[in-house]
Amino acid sequence: MDAGAEGTKASFFQRFLLPGFAFKGFVIGGGYATGRELAEFFLVSGPWGGLAGMVLAMALWSLICAATFAFAQAFQAFDYRSFFAALLGRGWVVFEIAYVLFIILVVAVFGAAAGEIGAAMFDIPVVAGSIALALAIIAATALGNASVERLFKFATPFIYLVYVIFMVLAFTSFGERIAGHFAVAGSGDGWALGGLTYASYNVVGAVVILPLLRHLTSRRDAVIAGLVAGPLAMWPAIMFFICMIAFFPGIETETLPSNVMLERLNSPLFQLAFQLMIFTALLESGVGAIHSINERIDHVLVARRDAGLGTGARIGIAALILVGCIFVADRFGLIALIASGYTALAYIFITVYILPLMTLGIVKLYRAQRLSSSSVAAD
């Protein structure tokens, strides 16, 4: 059954919410689950500057996701190789090189974060937490699209609920500190650059989740799903950032800002729930990243021999990638990976993804729409 046939039976959730939830899953784990990324890119601009940068990043996510989803739906390109072959022609290989480096970096960041959480919560070696995350990712990606979609569907309510509870507890415990710091703070410099940089490396999550866009039935579906993806991904980050202001300045230098705030809340049960939520977000992100690689390989195999990846092959590919990423995480650590790698990748993706999509991609979409309209008129 082709993508269009599948789409006619797609539910409201699959058409309009699943893409945003999947994008959210990647962004939370890769972008702000521990608070380290928010400190790196937004707290340096102060409370108001940081919020301005986050709103800018959210708007850019919505715009680029809408264009990405529409392009994927128009050209039925639901893995990153097909997508960039349609967008860049033979230049798709340039994106693939950057993308593979990106996957190695972000999964290493996920592993480092899981390791830090395990060490902080259970006093276990850092590498043990990384290995636990790797095993969970392998299990979730082994069965393909259906398994991945279930993860995003059922993990999202838990993640959102924990963020809401966290904000309520934070305002109850140190709301006066938050209000006081916002009252005296001005808007710092660099908020626009911070928002642009943060949006640029995280928005590649729209490419990561391409396999989950098969349910889109029209360009309208794609645009709506893309526009809502930005707010779905950013509102927990904004809540989290506001809570972090209670301990600004100072918290921006912490490896795990989330842990600092949780200790101040002095609620061991909620601290455990929050760390479990972070692990779940890291799992979502890691699953999305590894699944995108599996689907790219599966697409090529189906085209060449009419048979895709089996469960064993999916497990093997995931294990191979994750072992290398765990080594990178253990070697460099969380702060160094985020500070050194993310900014460089942001500029690479602006060059090979965002600018081509928002120029050449829009032109190709317009031409595809005119061709489709002409075909309908001829019929």
Confirm whether 374 is domain-assigned.
no
Give the DSSP per-residue string, 170-193. HHHHHHHHHHHHHHH--PPTTHHH
| Angstrom distances, CA of residue 363 to CA of 219, 322, 353, 369 | 15, 38, 15, 10
pLDDT of 3 reads 42
Instruction: Please write the tens of the pLDDT for every residue from 262-298.
Output: 888 888 889 888 888 888 888 888 888 888 888 888 8
CATH value at residue 218: 1.20.1740.10
Q: Measure the CA–CA gap between 123 and 106, rounded to whole angstroms.
A: 24
**Domain membership flag for residue 22:** yes
Is pLDDT of 176 > 50? Answer: yes
Q: What are the backbone angles phi and psi of residue 333, rounded to the nearest 5°? A: 85, 165
What residue numbers bound the domain in which 47 lies? 15-362
Q: Are 138 and 319 in contact (CB under 8 A)?
A: yes
Residue 118 burial by Cβ neighbours in a 10 Å radius (0-12, 13-18, 19+): buried
- pTM value? 0.81
Concatenate the DSSP letters of all residues of 206-257 into one string: HHHTGGGGTT--SHHHHHHHHHHHHHHHHHHHHHHHHHHGGGTTTGGG-S-H
In this structure, are residues 48 and 183 in contact, taking their beta carbons and an 8 Å threshold?
no
Q: Residue 378 falls within a domain, yes or no?
A: no
Q: What is the pLDDT of residue 328?
A: 62
Q: Is residue 232 part of a domain?
A: yes
Lowest mean pLDDT among 110-119, 169-178, 346-355: 110-119
The answer to whether 189 touches 45, Cβ cutoff 8 Å, is yes
Could you give the CA distance from residue 132 to residue 118 in angstroms, rounded to a whole number? 9
Number of domains in the chain: 1
| Residue at 191 is within a domain | yes
**Nearest Cα residue to 130 out of 237, 279, 245, 260:** 279
Q: Match 């005119």 to its residue by tokens.
A: 370
297 assigned to some structural domain: yes
How many distinct helices (H) and strands (E) make up the chain? Answer: 18, 0
- The answer as to whether 85 is a domain residue is yes
CB 315 within 8 A of CB 290: no
Is position 373 within any domain?
no
Tell me the range of 252-256, 311-315, 336-340 where mean pLDDT is highest: 311-315
> Is residue 108's pLDDT more than 80?
no
Over residues 10-55, the pLDDT tens digits come to: 788 888 998 998 898 778 876 677 788 888 888 888 888 899 999 9
Residue 378 confidence (pLDDT) above 70 = no
